[in-house]
Amino acid sequence: METLETLLQPLRIGDRVPRFVARSTQGAFDLDDYRGRWLILFSHPADFTPVCTSEVLALARAVPEFAALDCRLVGLSVDSLYSHLAWIRLIRDTTGVAIEFPIIEDPTMEIARGFGMVGADARDSATVRMTYFIDPEGVLQALNSYPLTVGRSIPEMLRLLAALQEVRDGGGLAPADWQPGDDLLRAPEDTAAAALATSDPAAWFYAPLGKGD
């Protein structure tokens, strides 16, 4: 089984995400307990920061939308568990929003280093702003990174999640700006016969997926 200790390079799309255990605001966290459903793991460089607080609030409000796509949310911040608890208490008391997904502590940046969010010799956590889309088998299907100054788009996270689920069986490709209910694109043909078979010179590589396909 892949673990953080055996991971030798940053995670890439198609990699199996290594198991790890840690403390979280919802008790002991074991990544293996989250297999079988989609999971979005999102990380923050610190608690009590403006952009991170806005994201945690927005994600907490969107939990039902992610649950409707059979996806759970898990946060990670390099601060300690007690800092996390104070942070979510402050959020609840000032906004009325309860943070019901776990937020993992990573004060030594061991998880951040294992996932490749920071380099082995990093002195700070500025680059720990990553989002990992993990499928039910524990395979990384997409990842995004963000600067300290710009927050994530929750609608885009939902759109990407829905698109990943829609194309997962290999039945089509999601085009630019795809939204649930839109047509997919047909996977391109890979023979000369297919490229020469139609009157439309682009149809072999760029065509909508028909309902009967």
Q: Residue 40 — pLDDT band, cuts 50, 70, 90?
A: very high
Is the model's pTM score more than 0.95? no
Q: For residue 130, what are the β-bridge partners?
A: 145
Q: How much is the pLDDT for 169?
A: 79
pLDDT at 1 over 50: no
Per the residue annotation, which of 17, 40, 41, 52 is the catalytic one?
A: 52
pLDDT of residue 119: 67
pLDDT band at 212 (very low <50, low <70, confident <90, very high): very low
The predicted pLDDT at position 125 comes to 61
Determine the number of helices (DSSP H) and then strands (DSSP E) in the chain: 6, 7
Average pLDDT score over residue span 116-125: 70
Instruction: Check whether 3 has a pLDDT greater than 60.
Output: no
Strand 38-44 relative to strand 27-30: parallel, antiparallel, unpaired? unpaired
SS in 3 state form for 182-207?
CCCECCCCCCHHHHHCCCCCCCCCCC
**Spatial distance between the Cα atoms of 3 and 115, rounded to a whole number of angstroms:** 10
Residue 17: pLDDT band by 50, 70, 90 thresholds? very high
Q: Does the pLDDT at position 211 exceed 60?
A: no
Count other Cβ atoms within 10 Å, centred on residue 55: 22
Residues 6+ apart with CB under 8 A from 72: 34, 37, 38, 39, 40, 66, 101
Residue 205 has φ and ψ, to the nearest 5°, of: -125, -10
pLDDT score, position 117: 86
As a whole-number percent, the residues of the chain with pLDDT over 70 amount to 86
Q: Which amino acid, one-letter code, is at 37?
A: R
Residue 4: pLDDT band with limits 50, 70, 90: low
Helical (H) or strand (E) element with 41: strand 38-44
Q: Say whether 71 is catalytic.
A: no
For residue range 161-176, list pLDDT tens digits in order: 999 999 997 779 999 9
| pLDDT tens per residue across span 69-88 | 999 999 999 999 999 999 99
**Is the pLDDT confidence value at 150 over 90?**
yes
